[in-house]
């Protein structure tokens, strides 16, 4: 891993956040996407929709270990620790060697903090610097990390939100999609016949190619419902392709979780705009 002209711990943390929070428009390379309006699809009765909703469970906190692989010219594979408080905060600790924390990322409802302990730098910004006016919530980002269907800005799919989505059949997949596009984009969630999520797809309205896609695997039934323990995504940041995969070990639910938001003393502060310029090198 190069220190100056390629990916640093800090830029990796921001890349994770950018890819998860700016889904609409981060990737220029299109991937094939089943068109939710295709005549090859058939809208199903309410049964499959209710079955999928039943797999979306409640939770208060989660914590887990895992591994991240990220590439953007150079690459990094690292152990991580992740903690979440539902609707409040996401914490990711990067631990590439011997379990020692090299960097951490904290996302709250309105703030983003990223700390690079290797180079003694940090970022403290409003989350809006990444969302470009899209009302993505902490809950939405948590659902993306866990592979749970949601409606942007309204939360995880539940019985109350059921009338706002429809389910159609595409080959061997079930496609769950909001009935109304969002800010010129359609987005949908693909499931296999076991109601295990396989992908999240976002595309410009009327397009059959995705602008952004997250693929999921290793879906397990947990006390919080069906949770994907593996995800893969790619995006373009400052015209550089960034690939990202994340795997979790066994997740601990609803325990006591503490997220330390204190910024270190003696570190230099960077702006997110300065950081994004690293990806153009």
Q: What pLDDT is attached to residue 13?
A: 67
Superfamily of domain 9-269: Lipoprotein localisation LolA/LolB/LppX (2.50.20.10)
Q: What 3-state DSSP class applies to 174?
A: strand
CA distance 178 to 120: 44
Q: What is the pLDDT at residue 219?
A: 97
Count of CB atoms situated within 10 Å of the CB of 269: 11
Which of 54-58, 180-184, 198-202: highest mean pLDDT?
54-58
Torsion sign across C-alpha atoms 176, 182, 186, 189: negative
Res 18: pLDDT: 64
- What distance lies between CA 1 and its chain's CA centroid? 24
Q: Residue 15 is inside which H or E element, if any?
A: helix 9-21
Is the confidence at residue 40, as pLDDT, over 70? no
pLDDT-based confidence at residue 78 (cuts at 50, 70, 90): confident
Give the confidence band of 236 by pLDDT, cuts at 50, 70, 90: low
* Residue 261: predicted pLDDT: 78
Q: Is a pLDDT exceeding 90 seen at residue 143?
A: yes
Residue 37: the pLDDT is: 37
Which SS3 state, helix, strand or coil, does residue 30 take?
A: coil
β-pair partners for 209: 32
Residues making up the chain, counted from first to last = 281
Distance CA(173)–CA(194), nearest Å, equals 9
* Secondary-structure breakdown of the chain: helix, strand, coil percentages, each rounded to the nearest 5: 15, 45, 40
More confidently predicted of 74 and 62: 62
Residue whose tokens read 């469970």: 57
Least confident of 66-70, 262-266, 267-271, 274-278: 274-278
- Angstrom CA distances, 113 to 26, 44, 91, 94, 110, stand at 21, 43, 10, 14, 10
Residue 3's pLDDT is: 40
Q: Is the pLDDT of residue 163 over 50?
A: yes
Predicted local distance difference test score (pLDDT) of residue 44: 54
Per-residue pLDDT at 39: 33
For residue 181, the model assigns a pLDDT of: 76
**For residue range 88-131, what is the model confidence (pLDDT) as tens digits?**
999 999 888 888 888 898 988 888 888 888 888 888 888 776 66
- Confidence check: pLDDT of 247 > 80: yes
Backbone phi, psi, residue 105, to 5°: -125, 135
CA distance 186 to 184: 7
pLDDT of residue 208: 64
């Amino acid at each position: 891993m190069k220190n100056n002209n390629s990916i640093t711990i800090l830029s990796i943390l921001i890349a994770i956040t950018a890819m998860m929070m700016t889904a609409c428009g981060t990737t220029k390379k299109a991937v094939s996407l089943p068109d939710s309006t295709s005549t090859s699809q058939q809208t199903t009765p309410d049964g499959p929709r209710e079955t999928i909703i039943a797999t979306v469970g409640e939770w208060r906190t989660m914590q887990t270990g895992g591994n991240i692989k990220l590439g953007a010219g150079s690459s990094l594979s690292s152990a991580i620790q992740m903690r979440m408080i539902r609707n409040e905060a996401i914490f990711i600790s990067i631990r590439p060697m011997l379990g020692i924390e090299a960097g951490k990322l904290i996302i709250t409802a309105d703030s983003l903090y990223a700390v690079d302990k290797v180079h003694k730098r940090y970022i403290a910004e409003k989350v809006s610097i990444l969302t470009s006016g899209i009302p993505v919530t902490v809950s939405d980002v948590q659902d993306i990390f866990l592979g749970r269907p949601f409606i942007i800005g309204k939360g995880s799919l539940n019985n109350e939100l059921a009338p706002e989505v429809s389910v159609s059949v595409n080959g061997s997949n079930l496609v769950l999609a909001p009935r109304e596009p969002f800010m010129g984009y359609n987005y949908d969630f693909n499931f296999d016949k076991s109601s295990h999520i396989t992908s999240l797809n976002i595309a410009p309205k009327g397009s059959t190619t995705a602008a952004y896609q997250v693929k999921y695997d290793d879906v397990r039934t947990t006390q919080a419902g069906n949770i994907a323990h593996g995800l893969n995504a790619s995006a373009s940041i400052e015209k550089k392709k960034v690939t990202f995969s994340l795997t979790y070990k066994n997740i601990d639910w609803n325990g006591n979780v503490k997220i330390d938001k204190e910024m270190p003393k003696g570190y230099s502060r960077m702006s997110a705009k300065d950081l994004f310029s690293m990806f153009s090198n």
